[in-house]
Structure 1
Amino acid sequence: MKRMILFALALLLLIPVWSTPLSVEAAPSVSTHAESAALIDVSSDRILYSSQGDKSMRIASLTKIMTAIVAIEHGKLSDQVTISRNAAGKEGSSIYLKLGEEMSLQHLLYGMMLRSGNDAATAIAEHVGGSVEGFAYMMNEKARLIGMEHSSFKNPSGLDEEGHYSTANDMAKLTAYALRNPVFREIVKTKVKKAPNPNETWDYTWMNKNKMLNLYDGADGVKTGYTKIAKRCLVSSATRNGQQLAVVTLNDPDDWADHTKLLDYGFKNFPLHPLVNKGDVIDGTSYVAGISFGYPALESEKNQFTSQIQMNDPASANYRLGEVGAVHYMLSGKPIGSVPLFMKGSPRLKLDDHGAFSFSGSLGGTSGGADKWLFIVQYLFRIVFTGRSA
């Protein structure tokens, strides 16, 4: 009977319980030349600016952001990938791979993200997904899990195809999710990459097409895109004072200038407001915060933060995993994030913030929240089917 109850609890935990990140109201005005645009704070998932952000549009090679994160999460970077005829002959931008050539998945990812190689994207998809169609299915599943409600992927490269589209807001969510992956972060901030070339005596040398890396102080990603139908598309990111922002523009003839404008706008108007530091004793308790937590907010919003403590049942899975409770933070009465509470000296405090399974920013449920529930589900299933808790 106990096992059946735990099993039911595990299934219930698969149902999302987090809320959408808080939207911005009464923010200063700003405009761009883009048909659609969005600005997001990476750690919290808060959309700081959006103009026609839910309009479905072609996204060209911005698609490769999804291709990269799916490949990183499901592939093995050291794998040697054999280039197929389909990949070698793919039209559009290319890193000039040859039929039968072998290249590591890691180097293919660099070639795809820095030079926008459609041949690399196709080779990656065939290797990780078994086929382009199989990989497209994985892309759409990832989109669903991230909460990209207005997106559909048909191929890994972004070549124009019926039914292949996304929105500025969805691509902002995807970018924030991907930038929390250290492998992805390292690739997209790289300005120049060399890779072995089995066909010549010289190595491949790939220069990143993303000019923002040189144009904007603190720029650290992410991807350019263009087709005749989609026009100029760009996603950029930058980090200043510990805060990372990302901008998406679709069909923007002046994207370099507009990205500079939106990044400046975000850093100026929505700085991170620190609410608690990891290890701080929480007022009214003998417990400490499991992670540091800050949230981007307007100056007019900084006095609207509130918090509420909720203790876990000692018989609950969370409590057995060392989390005695949580502090839930609100802005203007709306939930924005949750910080786990631990006993002083808990070994969980030695883990990084991701390892602490925090909601680390928003309850919008991309990485931290989803990982936490997945871990708990796995933990409960272990108890149910093995009778062991460790």
Structure 2
Amino acid sequence: MRRLFVIIFIATILITSTFNSFAMILPAQIDISSESGVLIDFETGEVLFEKNAHKQMYPASTTKIMTAILTLENANLNDKVIIDKEAPFTEGSRMYVKEGEEFTVDQLLHALLIESANDSAVALAKHISGSTEEFAKLMNKRAKELGALNTHFTNPHGLPDENHVTTAYDLAMIAKYGMTIPKFREIVKTIRYQIPATEKTPEIRYFRNRNRLLHGVGPGNKIKYNGEWIDIKYDIVDGIKTGYTSKAGQCLVSTAFKDNRRVISVVLKAIRTNVYLDSRTLIDYGFNNFKKINVVNSGTKLKTIEIENGIEKNLDLITQDSISKIVPKDYNESNIKMAIELNPEIKAPISKGEALGKVIYSINNEIIGKTNLIAKNSIDEKQIYKIVKRIKDPKNMSFFKIVLGIIVLFIIWRTIVTINRIRRKRRRWKW
């Protein structure tokens, strides 16, 4: 009986500690029908939900997020692009460009992200890199730089290719960066756009954003959400990009802003309007179950230290950066622990802003953030220490040896002179 009690007690402790260690992960269980999905906080990049988030999938036209980013980084919006003979024959969704037509980069970007025009993607890729093959190399290089480590692009539009793959998490990282670019943010939330007639196309081209979360209302634009039929349109959503092929299924990268927070959701290989249902489920989950806390603000004084060789005795150490954390809404912030680590042998001279240590914040022994502790002010060293330093400096050692030698010789000479004088005086006295 006693052994059974001990076993139950130990099991209780283990279960309790397990729940404590996972208290930061999921405050509630949700599910989506899409094969893969992820939800991240925009500011911190923290993953709030994931389902096969690192499984390689076909991205379809969500590929164009990267194409748009590279265009914004490598071309001017007013650049002129003349359509070559190959772009008009691009398959899939198009803006129906014609050989010899001229467009601005800005116009092609709108067609890329709003109409999801594959021919626009080809035109932009060739404008930047000369060919779609070279552009794909640039895409892959940039993807790795943005943290998309399981992504491999072979084209700028996302048309089927078994080697053209990414993951839900990678797309979230790419989209997170995209949303830091003002022009990108502007275009992905645009509902309607038009391109004026050209010499080769006398009709105005009218585009409407394919992302129905931005505008889908009325019959044919409904989803059954929490037991009720509601419009697909969701007012807090302001982007980003749809995608579809028969192999990729319905894909959608979305972003929403509410209560001074932004989240990014990715769902891949959904069936029909479930792509919107899953996206809204993730978005609401992020806002309803999590909150952002400011662990520490930049410039906060955390410690005062003594500087023994400084002209000022004390120095305040302040935080270099702000640290934020996404936690469940009912989380007790007092569970956050702080640890300060200082550099060994801190001595003057010290420059303002110099890193002299770091502060580490953790929850249940898991690090949630850290930043440098920097000097609030500059402190010069005392004059006596400067003199000692100069003497010890190897560059000055020869000079000081010469000076010291001269002083020693002078002392010896003065000593000899003094001794001789004393001797002469003694002789006179004897006389």
TM-score (norm. length: structure 2)? 0.67
1:380 aligned partner: none
Residues 4-63 of structure 1: per-residue CA shift (max 9 Å, x gap): xxxxxxxxxxxxxxxxxx996344110011011111111111111111112111110011
User: CA–CA distance in 1 between the matches of 2:71 and 2:298?
Assistant: 32
1:356 aligned partner: none
Post-superposition shift, 1:289? 4.9
User: CA–CA distance in 1 between the matches of 2:76 and 2:41?
Assistant: 29
Post-superposition shift, 1:297? 1.2
2:248 aligned partner: 230
User: CA–CA distance in 2 between the matches of 1:162 and 1:230?
Assistant: 11
2:262 aligned partner: 244
User: CA–CA distance in 2 between the matches of 1:75 and 1:320?
Assistant: 40
| C-alpha spacing 1:157/1:301, structure 2 compared with 1 (3 Å) | farther
Q: Say yes or no: does 1:294 pair with 2:324.
A: yes
Identity of paired residues, percent? 36
User: CA–CA distance in 2 between the matches of 1:39 and 1:155?
Assistant: 26
Check conservation: 2:26, 2:48, Cα contact below 8 A.
Answer: no
| C-alpha spacing 1:100/1:308, structure 2 compared with 1 (3 Å) | farther
Q: Say yes or no: does 1:42 pair with 2:42.
A: yes
User: Secondary structure, in 3 states, of the residue corresponding to 1:297?
Assistant: strand
Check conservation: 1:245, 1:263, Cα contact below 8 A.
Answer: yes
2:337 aligned partner: 306
User: Secondary structure, in 3 states, of the residue corresponding to 1:112?
Assistant: helix
User: Secondary structure, in 3 states, of the residue corresponding to 1:247?
Assistant: strand
| C-alpha spacing 1:124/1:337, structure 2 compared with 1 (3 Å) | farther
User: CA–CA distance in 1 between the matches of 2:130 and 2:96?
Assistant: 22
User: Secondary structure, in 3 states, of the residue corresponding to 1:151?
Assistant: coil
User: CA–CA distance in 2 between the matches of 1:23 and 1:71?
Assistant: 42
1:330 aligned partner: 362
| C-alpha spacing 1:304/1:81, structure 2 compared with 1 (3 Å) | farther
User: Secondary structure, in 3 states, of the residue corresponding to 1:300?
Assistant: coil
Check conservation: 1:24, 1:47, Cα contact below 8 A.
Answer: no
1:386 aligned partner: none
Check conservation: 1:209, 1:224, Cα contact below 8 A.
Answer: yes
User: CA–CA distance in 1 between the matches of 2:96 and 2:352?
Assistant: 50
2:307 aligned partner: none
1:169 aligned partner: 169
Check conservation: 2:79, 2:104, Cα contact below 8 A.
Answer: yes
Alignment of 1:62-141 (within 5 A): 62-141=62-141
Once the two structures are overlaid, the 10-residue window that deviates more, 95-104 or 157-166, is 95-104
AA aligned opposite 1:213: L
User: CA–CA distance in 2 between the matches of 1:323 and 1:40?
Assistant: 33
User: Secondary structure, in 3 states, of the residue corresponding to 1:236?
Assistant: strand
Count of paired positions = 321
| C-alpha spacing 1:307/1:186, structure 2 compared with 1 (3 Å) | farther
Q: Say yes or no: does 1:212 pair with 2:213.
A: yes
Check conservation: 2:25, 2:48, Cα contact below 8 A.
Answer: no
AA aligned opposite 1:330: S
User: CA–CA distance in 2 between the matches of 1:120 and 1:235?
Assistant: 20
1:160 aligned partner: 160
Post-superposition shift, 1:207? 1.6
Post-superposition shift, 1:229? 1.2
Q: Say yes or no: does 1:282 pair with 2:312.
A: no
| C-alpha spacing 1:302/1:269, structure 2 compared with 1 (3 Å) | farther
Check conservation: 2:351, 2:377, Cα contact below 8 A.
Answer: no
Once the two structures are overlaid, the 10-residue window that deviates more, 121-130 or 292-301, is 292-301
User: CA–CA distance in 2 between the matches of 1:195 and 1:310?
Assistant: 59
Check conservation: 2:353, 2:376, Cα contact below 8 A.
Answer: no
Q: Unaligned regions of 5+ residues in structure 1, if any? A: 1-21, 347-390
User: CA–CA distance in 1 between the matches of 2:377 and 2:186?
Assistant: 33
Post-superposition shift, 1:67? 0.9
**Higher RCO (C-alpha 8 Å, min separation 6):** 1
2:401 aligned partner: none
Once the two structures are overlaid, the 10-residue window that deviates more, 331-340 or 63-72, is 331-340
| C-alpha spacing 1:186/1:282, structure 2 compared with 1 (3 Å) | farther
1:192 aligned partner: 192
AA aligned opposite 1:128: I
Post-superposition shift, 1:245? 0.5
User: CA–CA distance in 1 between the matches of 2:204 and 2:360?
Assistant: 52
Residues 67-88 of structure 1: per-residue CA shift (max 9 Å, x gap): 1112212222221111122212
CA RMSD of aligned residues (A): 2.9
User: Secondary structure, in 3 states, of the residue corresponding to 2:302?
Assistant: coil
Residues 276-299 of structure 1: per-residue CA shift (max 9 Å, x gap): 3455x3332545555544221123
